[in-house]
Amino acid sequence: MAIPGGAGRFTRRDVLKGAAAACVGAAAGMGAHGFLYERHHVEVTRTTLSVTGLPESLSGIRIGLLTDIHRSATVPHELIASAVTLLLAEAPDLIILGGDYISFNDRSFAEAAADALAPLSAPVGVFGVVGNHDDDREVPAALEKRGVEMLMDARTRVTIRGEALDLIGIRYWTRRIGDIAKVARGATAASIFISHTPMRLTEAAALGLPLMLSGHTHGGQVVLPGLGPIAARGFPIIAGEGHRENTTGFVSRGVGTVYLPVRVQCPPEVAVLTLRPSETA
């Protein structure tokens, strides 16, 4: 019942103002949760990937993928150490580091980033590429001192269960398909292409590389209800598994943060990938 003088009536403007206030409050709540809680709690993502041309003898091998640690003033040692502990507990056959160990080329954190990753080990080894926030000298050198084999536009061959497997790693700035082809030339049919950015999925598919592992997107870092990961739109894969022709790609959400020390509906992760031969192989 209306109150005389119009008191108690709600206009459309009142409703819209209330809705706007509720949205602002919800956004503030999500932001606070993302800053205080979500960015600090690393998840383990376990995924099985079908890989074209993978020999049956390599079926079941497990790869640990850890990327985008972004060691900085806002990404502490403890967060990275927790990710390292979680990954080691999974006991993968080999570990791949996907780049962006520091932020904004701040090489004062190069040794700290390498120290945080130093405990990593795996039976076949630990291998890494550089990302767009890294330099080509100090960060790779710091990691190599801790036993990481850095693939700077390079290919290396490992042996697992008596089977050869090639790891092909490119720098973030290596984009031309001809340059990538030079690195991949002579690779085994079973090979893993490591590119910091998933934007190289097109080149991987064109070259017939069966598996690409990447980071870079942070999964969007902030994923808004109804809008999704606005900051990561335009990538062929934002997070998780994707395909182009006979190439399987997997993109990790990574561990750290950049620009804003917050994650919303996009927790940090370490990924453990079990490989199986594709049924169409």
pLDDT of residue 131: 97
Q: How many domains does the chain have?
A: 1
Residue 4 lies in a domain: no
Residue 44 lies in a domain: yes
**Do the beta carbons of residue 84 and residue 120 sit within 8 Å?**
yes
Whole-angstrom distance, CA of residue 86 vs CA of residue 44: 7
**Do the beta carbons of residue 252 and residue 271 sit within 8 Å?**
yes
Residue 1 lies in a domain: no
Tokens of 23: 């949205």
Tokens of 71: 């060691």
**Do the beta carbons of residue 273 and residue 45 sit within 8 Å?**
no
For residue 189, is pLDDT > 90?
no
- Model confidence pLDDT, tens digit, residues 212-232: 999 999 999 998 888 888 777
Compute CA distances 245 → 22, 40, 52, 234, 251, whole Å: 45, 36, 10, 19, 17
Give the β-pairing of 269-277 and 154-160.
unpaired
**222 secondary structure, DSSP code:** B
**Do the beta carbons of residue 86 and residue 242 sit within 8 Å?**
no
Whole-angstrom distance, CA of residue 226 vs CA of residue 160: 44
Residue 2 lies in a domain: no
The enclosing domain of 38 has a CATH number of 3.60.21.10
Domain that holds residue 28: 11-277
Residue 175 lies in a domain: yes
CA 39, distance to chain mean position in Å, is 14
pTM: 0.87
**Do the beta carbons of residue 122 and residue 153 sit within 8 Å?**
no
Nearest to 203 by CA among 171, 179, 219, 187: 179
**Do the beta carbons of residue 148 and residue 134 sit within 8 Å?**
no
For residue 46, is pLDDT > 50?
yes
Residue 205 lies in a domain: yes
pLDDT of residue 18: 38
**Do the beta carbons of residue 158 and residue 126 sit within 8 Å?**
no
For residue 196, is pLDDT > 70?
yes
Q: Which single residue is written with the structure tokens 């993968």?
A: 92
